[in-house]
Amino acid sequence: MLRSTISGNIMSASQQLDKLIKEIKLFIRYAVPESEIAEACALVDRYRNHRRILNLLREYYVALPDAREEAVIRITELVQRQGVALFVLTTTSTAHLYAVSVDGAVWLGEYLGELDPEILALWGFTDQEELSNICVPTTDLEDYVGGAKGKRDECPACGVEEGEYHFLGCLVEVCPWCEGQLSKCNCRFEQLEVDAVDNEEQLERFLDLLTAKGRIPFQRHQAPFYPGTSGGLDREDEKES
């Protein structure tokens, strides 16, 4: 069915995470000394439900900044603004800074090193000193605990944090055109001017239109609509006509 294309992406979300975890552990086996493998894998398991953190770990083990072959032993979030977080990734002998969003992770340099002004501006820092003010010594960095125990809520369906965009296909995402449920409403057909959405190219084009219109990020008051418990589109159409 037409509608299953977008929701199909979310159905396999946990399988995607499992695949990502396997991939990271494979990279770990190549990247770190034998003696550090167990600790490195334990950290991956600890964040097994955090897609952003897993993307961050994957990026680290694939690229190994400074060619240091070391396990990650701690992950810390320094600050977050408009869906982009500044993370510190502590390894056995050093620490790195990463910018992390739902789209992925980018290595910025060593922790406590200098950052470009335009990078600092991402989090509203006017200069290096403002960033330094929130930077504690590497040994005092605290573990990232995520949305459940942390300060922010996570989307119950796709796991993004408050203020972030849902993964496309998430049942909780609100449609910016009709304010209904984006994975169920008919706006994508109207916007794309097609009768069916059944390929990647259409999904990408829809994402562009959606982004241009302005996606609605996750807020804690948004709750998932469960298919079958609400009236459903067809019935609502009948009511209106």
Residues in touch with Zn ion (CB under 5 A): 155, 157-158, 166, 170, 172, 175, 177-178, 180, 185, 187
Q: How far is the CB of 219 from Zn ion (least distance, A)?
A: 11
User: Least distance to Zn ion from the beta carbon of 153, Å?
Assistant: 11
Least Å distance, CB 142 to Zn ion, is: 27
Helix (H, G, I), strand (E, B) or coil at 202: helix
- Cβ-based nearer residue to Zn ion, 56 or 168: 168
Provide, rounded to whole angstroms, the least separation between the CB of residue 136 and Zn ion.
32
Pair 99, 86: CB distance under 8 Å: yes
Distance from first CA to last CA of the chain, Å, rounded? 24
Across-strand partners of 79?
86
Nearer to Zn ion, 31 or 172 (CB): 172
Residue of 89, 93, 92, 91 lying closest to 106 (CA atoms) = 89
Q: How far is the CB of 160 from Zn ion (least distance, A)?
A: 6
The neighbouring-strand residues paired with 89 are 75, 96
At closest approach, how far in Å is the CB of 82 from Zn ion? 17
Long-range contacts: 143-152, Cβ < 8 Å, 24+? Answer: 143/74, 143/75, 143/76, 144/47, 144/53, 144/75, 144/76, 144/77, 144/87, 146/47, 146/49, 146/50, 146/53
Q: What is the DSSP letter of 215?
A: -
Residue 86 or 172: the one with the smaller Cβ distance to Zn ion is 172
**What distance lies between CA 106 and its chain's CA centroid?**
13
Q: Which is nearer to Zn ion, 143 or 153 (CB)?
A: 153
* Closest to Zn ion by CB, 105 or 155: 155
Nearer to Zn ion, 109 or 180 (CB): 180
- Among 43, 39, 44, which residue's Cα sits nearest to residue 21? 44
